[in-house]
Amino acid sequence: MLQLPESPCMRKLVSVEDAYEICRQITAKYSKTFYLGTLLMSQQKRRAIWAIYVWCRRTDELVDGPAAALTTPETLAIWEKQLESLFAGQPLEDPDVALVDTIQRFRLDIQPFRDMIAGQLMDLYRSRYQTFEELNLYCYRVAGTVGLMSTAVMGVNGGYNTAAWNQGQKPPDPTPEAVTLGIANQLTNILRDVGEDARRGRIYLPLEDLAKFNYTEQDLFKGVIDDRWRELIRFQIRRTQEFYHQAEKGISHLAPDARWPVWASLMLYSQILQEIERNDYDVFQKRAYVPSLKKMRYLPVAWLRSQAL
Ligand SMILES: CC(C)=CCC/C(C)=C/CC/C(C)=C/CC/C(C)=C/[C@@H]1[C@@H](COP(=O)(O)OP(=O)(O)O)[C@]1(C)CC/C=C(\C)CC/C=C(\C)CCC=C(C)C
Ligand SMILES: [Mn+2]
């Protein structure tokens, strides 16, 4: 379990180097897929992504972790005050030392961080989404924001303006696609975790979609897998794949050294959708995951795409 501040006291904090090492270890422990992606980046960018990852993970744990029952809107308000302190250059805990360094090096914007806290707040008072539009807003807040934070670190295609024919033109902005990839990842996460969420009384699939396929909340809580369910999930998978497809178009506008890691994480994470199909849409009893060996096989394909597309 990740720790929240015991008390933001006057304790001496670790060095910047040690703080990044703490963030590396936490990223490696909690997310094999994203950690693998960061290993394909330059040292400076990869460390910054670890620092961001740890802040995001800790924010998520406030509402999703083992101590979530103790979290109130007030807890999130305190967390946001702590965030403001980081942006003012004042770390309060060891991993924050790395994030403060990252914020300053990459001139990060505070807004996506605030938006993510707003997303976690939604989890405190909502356990249903009526429409896809409502779900989309939630997904932007908890995951599209990660796309914005990461893109600020990874950088855009700097070579664009140096080409004579591009003089005076702005380089294409990949941030909409970065948000789209975050949303695609979150939609995938929701499909993978339907059973786990149902056991906590939560349904993230839009209720309008359940109705469209004549599948009820009671069916979902009972874990009914039949043709209505398969059609419903196929529909969700297709929609999510469209988000991935849209996101792919932005990758060539990222800095060249960021394209391989992003292609790799996109391909690995979207592969979870195929695993759900392979499990015959049983997301109640089985957790769809991509085996490590298979992940490795995607790396060269991701590399080829990063060079060619
Ligand atoms: C390779 C790279 C740049 C990775 C970014 C790593 C990073 C900073 C991840 C933060 C993840 C996090 C802890 C977010 C908190 C909210 C949350 C839990 C969101 C879900 C992530 C996955 O969580 P989980 O731990 O459940 O995953 P697994 O158990 O390991 O499966 C989310 C699904 C959201 C993840 C969203 C992203 C990584 C954003 C992706 C977008 C980009 C990297 C921008 C790319 C740019 C273009 C132009 C396409
Ligand atoms: Mn969560």
d(CA 279, CA 287): 9
User: Are 144 and 196 in the same domain?
Assistant: yes
Give me ligand 2 centre to Cα 61, in Å. 7
Ligand 1 pocket, mutate which of 150, 187, 202, 268 (most atoms under 8 A from CB): 150
User: Are 186 and 256 in the same domain?
Assistant: yes
Give me ligand 1 centre to Cα 228, in Å. 30
* 1 is a domain residue: no
Tally of domains in the chain: 2
User: Are 139 and 121 in the same domain?
Assistant: no
* Res. 309 pLDDT band, cuts 50 70 90: confident
Give me ligand 1 centre to Cα 175, in Å. 15
User: Are 18 and 93 in the same domain?
Assistant: yes
Nearest atom within ligand 1 for CA of residue 38: 1
Nearest atom within ligand 1 for CA of residue 247: 49
156: three-class secondary structure by DSSP: strand
21: CATH: 1.10.600.10
User: Are 135 and 257 in the same domain?
Assistant: yes
- b/e sequence 36-45, b meaning 16+ C-beta within 10 Å: bbbebbeeeb
73-126, pLDDT tens digit by residue?
999 999 999 999 999 999 999 999 999 999 999 999 999 999 999 999 999 999
Tell me, yes or no, if the pTM score tops 0.95. Answer: no
User: Are 144 and 272 in the same domain?
Assistant: yes
Q: Per-residue pLDDT averaged across 123-135, rounded? A: 97
User: Are 144 and 83 in the same domain?
Assistant: no
Q: Looking at ligand 1, which residue's alpha carbon is closest to its atom 15?
A: 56
Give me ligand 2 centre to Cα 186, in Å. 9
* 165 is a domain residue: no
User: Are 120 and 145 in the same domain?
Assistant: no
Give me ligand 1 centre to Cα 167, in Å. 34
Nearest atom within ligand 1 for CA of residue 52: 8
Residue among 110, 108, 135, 132 nearest 122 (CA): 135
User: Are 100 and 57 in the same domain?
Assistant: yes
Sign of CA dihedral 41, 43, 44, 48: positive
Token digits of residue 5: 């501040």
Token digits of residue 132: 């896809």
Q: Per-residue pLDDT averaged across 166-172, rounded? A: 71
User: Which-ligand-closest: CA of 193?
Assistant: 1
Token digits of residue 195: 């059973």
What ipTM does this complex have?
Answer: 0.94
pLDDT recorded at residue 209: 98
Q: Per-residue pLDDT averaged across 159-180, rounded? A: 75
User: Are 189 and 102 in the same domain?
Assistant: no
**Segments forming the whole domain that contains residue 59:** 13-125
Q: Looking at ligand 1, which residue's alpha carbon is closest to its atom 49?
A: 178
* 106 is a domain residue: yes
* 168 is a domain residue: no
Asked if 63 contacts 94 with a C-beta cutoff of 8 angstroms, the reply is no
User: Are 106 and 148 in the same domain?
Assistant: no
* Res. 32 pLDDT band, cuts 50 70 90: confident
Q: Which residue has the tokens 């249903």?
A: 128
pLDDT recorded at residue 192: 98
Tell me which residues have their CB closer than 6 angstroms to ligand 1.
31, 33-34, 37-38, 49, 52-53, 56-57, 60, 142-143, 146-147, 150-151, 174, 177-178, 181-182, 185-186, 189, 247, 250-251, 254, 261-262, 265
* 166 is a domain residue: no
Residue among 197, 78, 86, 84 nearest 135 (CA): 197
